[in-house]
């Protein structure tokens, strides 16, 4: 477990879903991109945890919830290959989805000229269990997709966590 040096009240776990990286065939390439960006944004970061796709993703999400994470960003397993099962591992845990996040992630890729971005099946939603709420966002598995996704999330992630904690919209006076 790796945590940022500057502690934030917002704790975000990073989970990489990759059968090959989990088996040691190659190193995790997208998880570290998320970790670096989250740290730059001032979040306390846990991970990345590298797991195989499917049920191990569910286990990692439950672990993050049990450890009190406010959010989990996953990378990988959102495409159309038979192994891509991150959305299926995520959906049963969600109390409700936040479709605007997923839609914005796909649109950002498409708008940057990456037509395959619309093939991502990534979800975003909130897990509510045992009195604790945790945002989950499925990002693509590529470094470019993760960078684009973090550009979408950067201005809203802290606000989303604050709202889950009962906060209100910032008010201008």
pLDDT tier for residue 4 given thresholds of 50, 70 and 90:
very low
**Do you find a cis peptide bond into 79, omega within 30 degrees of 0?**
no
Report the Cα 95 to chain-centroid distance in Å.
16
Greater confidence, 98 or 8? 98
Alpha helices in 29-156 (DSSP H): 31-40, 55-66, 86-90, 99-111, 143-153
Mean of the pLDDT values across residues 35-48?
97
20 vs 70: CA distance, rounded Å: 28
């Amino acid at each position: 477990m790796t945590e940022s040096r500057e502690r934030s009240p917002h704790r975000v776990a990073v989970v990489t879903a990759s059968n090959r990286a989990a088996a040691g065939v190659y190193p995790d390439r997208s998880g570290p991109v998320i970790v670096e960006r989250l740290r730059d944004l001032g979040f306390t970061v846990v991970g990345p945890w590298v797991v195989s796709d499917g049920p191990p993703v569910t286990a990692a999400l439950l672990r993050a919830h049990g450890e009190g994470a406010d959010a989990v960003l996953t990378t990988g397993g959102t495409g159309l290959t038979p192994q891509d099962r991150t959305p299926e591992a995520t959906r049963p845990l969600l109390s409700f989805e936040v479709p605007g996040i997923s839609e914005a992630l796909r649109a950002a890729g498409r708008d940057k000229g990456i037509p395959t971005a619309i093939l991502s099946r990534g979800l975003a939603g909130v897990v509510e269990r045992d009195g604790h709420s945790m945002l989950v966002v499925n990002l693509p598995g590529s470094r470019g997709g993760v960078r684009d996704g973090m550009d979408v999330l950067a201005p809203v992630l802290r606000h989303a966590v604050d709202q889950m904690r009962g906060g209100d919209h910032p008010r201008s006076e």
